[in-house]
Structure formats: C-alpha cells, structure tokens
Structure 1
Amino acid sequence: MLKRSFALGLAAALVALAPQPGFAQDKSITVFAAASMKNALDDVNAAYTKATGVKVVASYAASSALAKQIEEGAPADVFVSADLKWMDYLIDKKAINAGTRVNLLGNKLVLITSKDSKIGDVKPGQGFDLARLAGDSRIAIGEVTSVPAGRYAKAAMETLGMWATAQPKLAMADNVRAALLLVSRGEAALGIVYATDARVDPGVRIIGTFPDGSHPPVTYPVAATTNAKPEVAGYLAFLRGKTARDMFEKYGFTMLAVRPST
C-alpha cells in the first residue's frame, strides 16, 4: 500500500512538472517603440496577435530612453526609433541585428496650438517670427539634445532663422507626447510635434507644417535586437505588409519599408 501511494504521488509530481499545453504554446515578443507610434502600433500589434496568436508587449517612450534601456540589457526583441541616430547608436553597441534593419515609416513635423486658441494658420518659412506668435506663453517641443522630435524641431528652427529668438520660450519635454500634452492642456501656446501626434489628440489643431528641407527627413527605422526571439522574423514581416500599411497610413504615417543603403 505504501509503495502504491508513493508511486501515485510520484506520478502526480511528474504531471505537475511537465509543460502544460496552454502554457507551452504561449508566445510573446517585446517591442520598444517611439512614443509617437503608440496609437498606430497598438492597432497593428492587436492585428498581429489576432492573426498569429503571438502576444506583443509594447513599451513606449522617447527613442533615446529606450535605446539606453536596451544598451543596459532590457529584454526587448524589437526596437522602433523615431530617428536614425538612436538605431545607429545601438548598432554601434552591437545590440541590434543590423541585417534586420528597415526604414519603416516617415512623418511630418508640424506646428500646433490648442483647439480653442485664436491663433490662425501660418506658413513656417525663412525668417518666420515664431517667438512673437507664442506671445507671453511657451513653445512645447521634445528635449533637443536627445529626443528625436526635439532635434528635428531645433534643426527646422535653425534652418529657418527662428532658433535664437524662440529658444528662451521653449518648454522641453521628455518625449513628443509630453510636448503634445502641454499644448492640449493649454500650458503652452504652441508646440512642434509630428503630424501623427496632432491627429490623435482632439485638444490640438495643426496651424502649419515645416518644409521638408528645413530638417532631416523624419524616419522610423525598425530592427530586431541581437537577443530577439525567433518569432520576431514574422513580426517584422507583418510590419511591412498590407494590413500594417493600411493602419499606419490611417494615422498619417508614410510607409517606407526600405533597407538603408550601406
């Protein structure tokens, strides 16, 4: 009887330790993506999970912050940056599988104000007086030394001769969505963000678009990290497919999906 009880107990223990079907089949990948991608990428990720059963866990922040986290060993499978610099940075650090890199999306840089503002449409151009337009208030942008949106904004202001007078009025935020929020809440009269950001916040409206030549092209590269799970190959392919394209374009992104020249 004792031997039989021991055998039954051992069998039960082995069953408990064995992989259970539901858990064995669970798969997930972790994506670190620029804050400006949140709404569109959430939709794309949901569609990918529905099609494949693979769960996507997304973390959104400034590309600079995400790149530093990946460099320090954060368990990301995919990185989507809002500019080329931070992708290049991680490639130099051997944290990115360079062969998987694709320039996925493009965007526009726009000038916004709150929906209730009396400021009308303008045409940012050479010598445009951005500081005067802001009046006694502030101009919200991403931090200009690290946040891609901030760097694009600074480049545009320098090219168009606005930087010197506008700089004292800048309210620099940790990421582009934080800058968007300052304008939406009325804490800043103006903001410089991506066109896709302005489209998802009903509290703001676009009053002008910066000329393409005034700043480097807004480009979103995507790549797998060096420690990425096997499922990432299918995810990267999905990002370049028609379903994802339609969703990205609905939010105002331009589909690029081209490999950078070497």
Structure 2
Amino acid sequence: MFAVEFKHVICCLVWLFALSSFMLGCSNASGSKAPTVVILGAASTKDLLEDIAAAAKASLGDPIEIEISTGPSHALAQQILSGAPADLYVSANRQWAEAIVDADLASDSIDWLANSMVVVAPANSKLSINSLEDLTSADVKRIALAGENVPAGIYAEQALTHYKLWDPLNVAGKIIRGHDVRSALAYVQRGEVDAAIVYATDARLTDDVRVVAKLDPASHTPIIYPLVRMRTSSRESEQVYQFFLGSEARQIAESYGFQTLVTDQGKE
C-alpha cells in the first residue's frame, strides 16, 4: 500500500516538474521575443526601406524586429485610416501623409525624401525611342504608368498634360496602368510595353531598362516623401524613426538616388 502511494506521489511530482518546466519555457519564449516595428511604405521605397531597416537593427542596441509592407501610397494610407497597425508610414506624396495627420493618427510627420520622373524603355528595344516626343510614334503601342490614384501615376499624367502629350497618347489607347510604379517598371523589364514613366530611383535598380528622357520637375507636383510616425507608436519605433532621420539612413537614401530633405539637426 505504501509503495503504491509513494509511486503515486513520485508520478505527481514528475508531472508537476514537467508542467512547471513547460510554463517556464513558454514564459522565457514570450519574454525573449523582440519588439516589432511595423513600417508601411510606398512601393518605390521597398529596397531602400529594407536596407535602412537592416542598418537600424544592426545599429540599435536592443533586439528589435522590423516588418515592412510596401504598395500604393493611397492604399496603405486607407489601411491605416481603417485601423491597420503601423508604426511608421512613408508616402510618395504629401496628400496621403496629410490625411493621416488630419485624422489625428500621427505624432510626427516630416518631409523626408524627394524624387524625379523619367521615361524608360526596354534596354534591348529595337524601337527608336530617344525622347519624350517619340512616344507619339506609331511604332510605340503601349506605355505603362502607375495607377491613376497612385502618386507616380498622378505625377506622370500631370507631366504628360504639361507637355501636351496626354490627350494624343490617351486617345490612341497607348496608356496602360500598373498596380503601382514597380508594376509599370516590371512591364518594361519584361518587354510587355514599349515604354513607361517611373521614378528615377526605380530606373536605377535594373539594367533591363534604359532612360530615354528626364521629365522637368516643373511639369508636375513636387515629388515629396513624408515620413510619418503614428501616435500609438512604441519606444522602439521612436528609435527607428530617429535612425531614419539620421546620417547613416541619409547616405543609404542618397545611394539609391533619392534627395534627402532632412539633416541631423532637422529639416533643411
């Protein structure tokens, strides 16, 4: 009888030890999980954000995870306005950053970067496209722009209107729209269109396209990328935000061809 009871006690102790070890392990796993900073950014900043995020993680002392999601600026802003979690938001125009600010969701918003627009054609194209006016040639059948609500698409349409090319190209049915500016670039890379209007920084990312024309900055609204920090952001997001405004991030941005609009002391 005693042996049976002793065996029962031992089994209970083993079970309790196993349970306590499991709970301690769960606690440690939970406690060791690094804080996560969520960044939503314009499609044209994808590679840039990934490089700056990697530099930030290497520079900051505390372990931190940075999740990046990119896409059309207006779609990302609408997600934030609908309650999607985000710590930082990078828009390719002021309009959508201002919408976040006007909704009282931002604690900080600063003009961070600037960009320009270019016309690109496939690097191996046999067509004679060497200027903006060549887009009206009968040989040019398809010209890709970003979506009509996407900043890059808006800037491109403004520029074509400025050069009095929008109506003839649109009436001729040459304009096709991509989901975002990277989609328009991909169409050219794959040779699915004869030309596209994209950001100068996008054209630098691939040898599959060549720049045939640079658009006058006066032909469209200034291309400004605000950096917005959400009001609900954490201490870690504040650290990442400050890193994005610092000299190392500025050097990375300039290596991609962006113009930086802030210094270590603040806005230029």
Q: TM-score, normalised by structure 1?
A: 0.87
* Matched position secondary structure for 1:200: coil
1:138-217 maps to which residues of 2 (within 5 A)? 138-144=142-148, 146-167=149-170, 168-217=173-222
Q: Alpha carbons of 1:34 and 1:58: their partners in 2 closer, same or farther (altered >3 Å)?
A: same
Partner of 1:80: 90
Partner of 2:231: 226
Unmatched 5+ residue regions in structure 2? 1-5
Partner of 1:121: 130
Shift of residue 229, structure 1, vs aligned partner: 2.4
Identity over the aligned pairs, expressed in percent?
32
Partner of 2:103: 93
Letter in 2 for 1:54: I
1:71 aligns with 2:81: yes
- CA distances 1:140-195 after superposition (whole Å, capped 9, x unpaired): 00112x10000011111112211111223111111000000111111111100001
Q: Alpha carbons of 1:120 and 1:139: their partners in 2 closer, same or farther (altered >3 Å)?
A: closer
Aligned partners of 2:31, 2:216: CA distance in 1, in Å? 51
- CA distances 1:67-104 after superposition (whole Å, capped 9, x unpaired): 1211222221111011111111222233332xx11111
Partner of 1:109: 117
Are 1:83 and 1:220, in contact at CA under 8 Å, matched by a contact in 2? Answer: yes
* Matched position secondary structure for 1:231: helix
Aligned partners of 1:174, 1:39: CA distance in 2, in Å? 18
Letter in 2 for 1:218: I
* Matched position secondary structure for 1:20: helix
Unmatched 5+ residue regions in structure 1? none
Rg comparison, structure with higher value: 2
Shift of residue 199, structure 1, vs aligned partner: 0.6
Are 1:129 and 1:162, in contact at CA under 8 Å, matched by a contact in 2? Answer: no
Are 2:185 and 2:196, in contact at CA under 8 Å, matched by a contact in 1? Answer: yes
Letter in 2 for 1:46: A
Task: Provide the aligned C-alpha RMSD in A.
Answer: 2.3
Letter in 2 for 1:256: L
Aligned partners of 2:84, 2:55: CA distance in 1, in Å? 25
Letter in 1 for 2:239: G
Aligned partners of 2:30, 2:55: CA distance in 1, in Å? 21
Q: TM-score, normalised by structure 2?
A: 0.85
1:240 aligns with 2:245: yes
* Matched position secondary structure for 1:101: strand
